[in-house]
Chains A and B, each alone.
Chain A
Amino acid sequence: MTEPRRIRNFCIIAHIDHGKSTLADRLLEATGAIDARNMRAQMLDTMDLERERGITIKANSVSIRYTPPGGEEHLLNLIDTPGHVDFSYEVSRSLAACEGALLLVDASQGIEAQTLANAYLAIESGLEIIPVINKIDLPAADPDRVAKELAGILGGSADEIIAVSAKTGAGIDEMLNAIIEKLPPPEGDPEAPTRALVFDSYYDTYRGVVCHVRVVDGELETGDDVRFMATSIAASADEIGMHLPASQVVKKLHNGEVGYLITGIKEIDLIRVGDTVTSARDGADGALPGYSEPKPMVYSGLFPIDGDDFERLRDALDRLRLNDSSLLYRAETSRALGFGFRAGFLGLLHMEIVRERLEREYDLDLVTTAPSVEYEATTTDGVALKVSSPQDLPDRSILEAIAEPYVKVMIITPSDYVGTVMELVQQRRGEMGEMTYLSPTRVELHYEIPLAEIVYDFFDQLKSRTKGYASMDYEPAAYRKSDLVRVDILLNDTAVDAFSTIVHRDKAYHYGRQMATRLRGLIPRQLFDVPIQAAIGGRIIARETIKAKRKDVTAKCYGGDITRKRKLLERQKEGKKRMKMVGAVEVPQEAFVSALRIDE
């Protein structure tokens, strides 16, 4: 065992692209934990998607043995954290496993909103912060400016801030030294009943669920009977080990140590991030604080383009869920799209990642309906309902009110763009809160905005309107009553449920107009005129007409070439097969995909 005083548990808080993974690579190399020859870029990002997008979705941890020059050996546990706002609960659990954090900031870009939000979260959790400025080798680096900014935010002196280049290795030794000198060792009672925090878990096809744990009190021993306190699941500690970074089996994990635990449990649902593991007998009375159930923020319908793929989609979702208990879904039937699922996600990125993995890893072609949030509807007889699908909204005749979730949004932007950002926020029904100058040229802005207004393309708009300089973070705020309506799209007088949406009344016309125009361009002409209408209740707010098709025949057949003629007709037949009937109207699958596309 390693005595707690020689253990440092820490994480790295950084914005995407600010070099967290490269810094982790450099730490592994500098401490000899991994041979430079066996190094591959971004060791800790294991999923292809993570490497590709340069983000961390799953938390990872690695234990490093390090002996500073002339000192004793220490065990440094680097606990990786997800880098995106969608995963803020996971971030909070990772932070709870640490005593300290490296706050890593790009020397040319300065601190970003998400980083700052996570830094605040770390400070609130009582972590010791070591600010580190990275990428000092870059020509555009301005470490002095960034150091002043960080000192302004965290207090302390700009001179003490460590400057490194994760790329060249400059400053890494100084940083290692600071980790040992400045971060506190773990506390915790070695004699108390065992309490270990599950800060991450993943599913391994052969081993079942593997939990990443931080032992807080007592110890975990191989063969122990253990209990997961939030779910009350009993299991046996079949295997305990550490990542060095290669897995190494150990007999015990003591208080303050970080490692993995395999219990033979196969269902990831039973092992929740934030849960506490204790001994089955003489266990702890109370769990570690901070556990909460995963709560989706964004909902969307997922429908296979080919109806025959429904079972494959279910299977794929089940498999994804093995590794991602925050993914929630239930079967949903759409008249227009057939059988599919209504899925809840932690945020837009989470939704995009899930969809991309379904398409890429499971080779599914999907129609994804417009993202929606969870509304609270109240009926005239006082019943309150959660509505995450426009289809579930009660009829207007019995609908008393609709409330929608708001979020607190923090935006950091160069001061030149404050006007632009305010304009965008106003368009999205946002309310201005505090405004703080981080430095003479950088501003921290606070707003409350309806979540529905940011799930579309708010982040992209923010980025493009500020030339990529602004960053944002958000957290849930209270529900508020709003003037919301459901807009239905009618095709030849039949409502197409897949296109229904709940929007603010002021935006209903725009949505209706846009959908009607898009669909007119996407749906081929039929045997009769097809009206496309957007309606709120019985009131039509937009209308387009697809004129009846008059000519669908080839003039002749070249020199008796029946084969070619037949091929053309077979293709036309296949095209018909891919049509979905909406009432009497044939709608190509592609029309659903294109009409619901978020961009443009």
Chain B
Amino acid sequence: MLLPDSIELADLAARWRSAYVHVPFCRRRCPYCDFAVVAPGDPHTDDLPNLTTRYLAALHAEIDLQPDWSPLDAVNLGGGTPSSIGAAAVGKIVEHLDSRFEIAPGAEVSVEANPEDVTEELVDGLLGAGVNRISIGVQSFDDEVLRFLGRAHTAEEAAAALEMCVPRLNCGVDLIFGAPGESLDSWRATVTSALEVYPHHLSAYALTVESGTSLWRAVRAGAAAPDADDQADKYEIVQAAAGDANLVQYEVSNYARPGFTCRYNLSTWGQGEYLGFGLGAHGHRDGVRSRNVRSVLAYVKALESGELPEAGRETPAERDMERLMLGVRRACGVNLGEWEGAAERHEGLQRLVAAGVVEIDRGRLRVLRPLLADDVAATVLSLSS
């Protein structure tokens, strides 16, 4: 079995082909979220059941419109809240992807879920639909923090959801750290609770103030903002605890038991290709990066008229630079390839080496302090100019 942070696995993942399916519906909009989300109260949501029906029909139409492709190694339903549409609707999507492109044997089929949606029935339904992985948006085990984050569930519901899922399928826990008001102790307790159930996978994301969100507006108006040093402390806490719990870090924010690395995730950082379906979804196919429209009505109407809902596409210049930029986020690092000589001569990069932020060993660059990965990536981008 390949370890989550092994070079071999990362190289394999770079060749995997995935599909991302966006399910935008949420019970409410979390204040920090800037994803393409449809929540009650938004424009055109007076008849939400009807909109959902039209959306799902459009999604299926989009799957039909996409040109043929080779079998899928990973399918990821993200959102939004994919669990909110129920196992049957999820099943239809998975089935359609399989009939249209074929889902490869042993492929990862993953669904994001909110704790309040997780029931035995849901898990039964998902398993029956060919889903083999679930990723649960726990975020915190502190009800105060959950309230700040605007979540609909409690810590108790989160714990119950994990208890239900971990024994039955490949289960990932998603956490958010560094919300203003969250103490170090609260975060330690959250990490402990998450690891106690020995999940297959752990994602721990620092709360980010994205422009345009209500959190952003509050901060702009003077509310407390997340503090970078506090987030660094919390990053180190989860990093250490995950290691102690035998989860292996394979990316800046991701940890997995051996054998349970999230394929879709690792493939993304390996410059792998994926089809994107749904509102605001991004695709990467034949070297072209594309993105869908973010307005739900525009999305539905485009597909109802038989057109692809694409908002834009680009063929990235310097593909190899993109490979490096993405690869630095992986624990196994990235092969510098033709840039090795430039890296040796690059003062900025050599300063990072001297400071112990990265190491370059036999042509491979590895970030030793992932908290500074963007600094490294920006420096690596300047190798070409």
Q: Is A570 an interface residue (CB 8 A)?
A: yes
Q: Which of A181-189, A348-356, A482-490, A550-558 contacts B (4 or more CB under 8 A)?
A: A550-558
What residue in chain A is nearest B269 (Cβ atoms)?
A557
Given the complex, which residues of B lie within 8 Å of A572, measured CB to CB?
Answer: 374-375, 377-378
Question: What are 29 contact pairs spanning A and B, CB under 8 A?
Answer: A527-B351, A527-B375, A528-B355, A549-B372, A549-B375, A551-B371, A551-B372, A552-B374, A553-B370, A554-B208, A555-B205, A555-B252, A558-B35, A559-B282, A560-B268, A560-B282, A561-B282, A562-B268, A562-B316, A563-B282, A563-B289, A566-B325, A569-B325, A569-B378, A570-B378, A570-B381, A572-B378, A573-B378, A573-B381
Compute how far the CA of A573 lies from the CA of B324 in the bound complex, rounded to whole angstroms. 14
CB contacts under 8 Å to B, within A557-594, are: 557-563, 565-566, 568-570, 572-573, 575-577, 581, 584
Asked whether A562 lies within 8 Å of B284 as measured between CB atoms, the reply is yes
Asked whether B205 lies within 8 Å of A552 as measured between CB atoms, the reply is no
Question: Scoring A residues 93 to 114 as 1 if CB is less than 8 Å from chain B, else 0, what string do you get?
Answer: 0000000000000000000000
Compute how far the CA of A573 lies from the CA of B377 in the bound complex, rounded to whole angstroms. 9
Compute how far the CA of A568 lies from the CA of B326 in the bound complex, rounded to whole angstroms. 13
Nearest-CB distance from B318 to chain A (Å)? 10
Asked whether B274 lies within 8 Å of A560 as measured between CB atoms, the reply is yes
- The residue among A549, A565, A569 with the most chain B CB atoms within 10 A of its own CB is A569
Q: Is B158 an interface residue (CB 8 A)?
A: no
Asked whether B253 lies within 8 Å of A576 as measured between CB atoms, the reply is no
Question: Scoring B residues 354 to 385 as 1 if CB is less than 8 Å from chain A, else 0, what string do you get?
Answer: 01010000000000001111110111011000
Asked whether A560 lies within 8 Å of B20 as measured between CB atoms, the reply is yes
CB contacts under 8 Å to A, within B159-217, are: 203, 205-208
Interface size class of A (residues with CB under 8 A): 20 to 34
What residue in chain B is nearest A577 (Cβ atoms)?
B382
Asked whether A556 lies within 8 Å of B284 as measured between CB atoms, the reply is no
Asked whether B316 lies within 8 Å of A563 as measured between CB atoms, the reply is yes
CB contacts under 8 Å to A, within B58-82, are: 78
Given the complex, which residues of B lie within 8 Å of A573, measured CB to CB?
Answer: 378-379, 381-382
What residue in chain A is nearest B318 (Cβ atoms)?
A566
Compute how far the CA of A555 lies from the CA of B251 in the bound complex, rounded to whole angstroms. 10
Q: Is B229 an interface residue (CB 8 A)?
A: yes
Question: Scoring B residues 226 to 267 as 1 if CB is less than 8 Å from chain A, else 0, what string do you get?
Answer: 001101100100000000000000001100000000000000
Q: Is B338 an interface residue (CB 8 A)?
A: no
Given the complex, which residues of A lie within 8 Å of B357, measured CB to CB?
Answer: 527
Given the complex, which residues of A lie within 8 Å of B116, measured CB to CB?
Answer: none
- The residue among B78, B268, B291, B377 with the most chain A CB atoms within 10 A of its own CB is B377
Q: Is B3 an interface residue (CB 8 A)?
A: no
Compute how far the CA of A577 lies from the CA of B348 in the bound complex, rounded to whole angstroms. 10
Asked whether B282 lies within 8 Å of A562 as measured between CB atoms, the reply is yes
Nearest-CB distance from B300 to chain A (Å)? 18
Nearest-CB distance from B65 to chain A (Å)? 19
Q: Is B352 an interface residue (CB 8 A)?
A: yes
Given the complex, which residues of A lie within 8 Å of B207, measured CB to CB?
Answer: 555
Asked whether A553 lies within 8 Å of B276 as measured between CB atoms, the reply is no
- Would you list the 3 A-B pairs with minimal beta carbon distance, nearest first? A550-B232, A572-B378, A555-B205
Asked whether B20 lies within 8 Å of A559 as measured between CB atoms, the reply is yes
Q: Is B314 an interface residue (CB 8 A)?
A: yes
Q: Is B34 an interface residue (CB 8 A)?
A: yes
Asked whether A551 lies within 8 Å of B228 as measured between CB atoms, the reply is yes
Given the complex, which residues of A lie within 8 Å of B381, measured CB to CB?
Answer: 569-570, 573
Q: Is B281 an interface residue (CB 8 A)?
A: yes
Q: Is B151 an interface residue (CB 8 A)?
A: no
Compute how far the CA of A572 lies from the CA of B381 in the bound complex, rounded to whole angstroms. 10
What residue in chain B is nearest A525 (Cβ atoms)?
B228
Nearest-CB distance from B26 to chain A (Å)? 14
Q: Is B322 an interface residue (CB 8 A)?
A: yes
Nearest-CB distance from A530 to chain B (Å)? 12
Asked whether B348 lies within 8 Å of A576 as measured between CB atoms, the reply is yes
Asked whether B284 lies within 8 Å of A550 as measured between CB atoms, the reply is no
Partner of A550, one of B347, B371, B378: B371
Asked whether A550 lies within 8 Å of B316 as measured between CB atoms, the reply is no
Q: Is B280 an interface residue (CB 8 A)?
A: yes
Nearest-CB distance from B225 to chain A (Å)? 13
Q: Is B22 an interface residue (CB 8 A)?
A: yes
CB contacts under 8 Å to A, within B1-35, are: 20, 22, 34-35
Asked whether A527 lies within 8 Å of B232 as measured between CB atoms, the reply is no
Known: A555-B253, A559-B35. 15 other contacts (CB 8 A): A527-B352, A549-B372, A549-B375, A551-B206, A551-B232, A551-B371, A556-B205, A558-B35, A559-B36, A559-B276, A563-B314, A570-B381, A572-B375, A573-B379, A576-B348
Compute how far the CA of A5 lies from the CA of B132 in the bound complex, rounded to whole angstroms. 111
Compute how far the CA of A310 lies from the CA of B28 in the bound complex, rounded to whole angstroms. 56
Compute how far the CA of A170 lies from the CA of B111 in the bound complex, rounded to whole angstroms. 88
Compute how far the CA of A402 lies from the CA of B111 in the bound complex, rounded to whole angstroms. 77
Given the complex, which residues of B lie within 8 Å of A577, measured CB to CB?
Answer: 382
Asked whether B371 lies within 8 Å of A553 as measured between CB atoms, the reply is yes
Compute how far the CA of A561 lies from the CA of B379 in the bound complex, rounded to whole angstroms. 20
- The residue among B274, B283, B381 with the most chain A CB atoms within 10 A of its own CB is B381
Partner of A560, one of B203, B276, B347: B276
Compute how far the CA of A570 lies from the CA of B318 in the bound complex, rounded to whole angstroms. 12
Given the complex, which residues of B lie within 8 Å of A570, measured CB to CB?
Answer: 378, 381
What residue in chain A is nearest B254 (Cβ atoms)?
A556
What residue in chain A is nearest B314 (Cβ atoms)?
A563
Partner of A559, one of B252, B280, B316, B371: B280
Q: Known A559-B20, A576-B348; judge A569-B229 contact (CB<8 A).
A: no
What residue in chain A is nearest B370 (Cβ atoms)?
A553
Compute how far the CA of A555 lies from the CA of B283 in the bound complex, rounded to whole angstroms. 20
CB contacts under 8 Å to B, within A21-51, are: none
Asked whether A553 lies within 8 Å of B252 as measured between CB atoms, the reply is yes
Compute how far the CA of A584 lies from the CA of B375 in the bound complex, rounded to whole angstroms. 15
What residue in chain A is nearest B206 (Cβ atoms)?
A555
Nearest-CB distance from B263 to chain A (Å)? 13
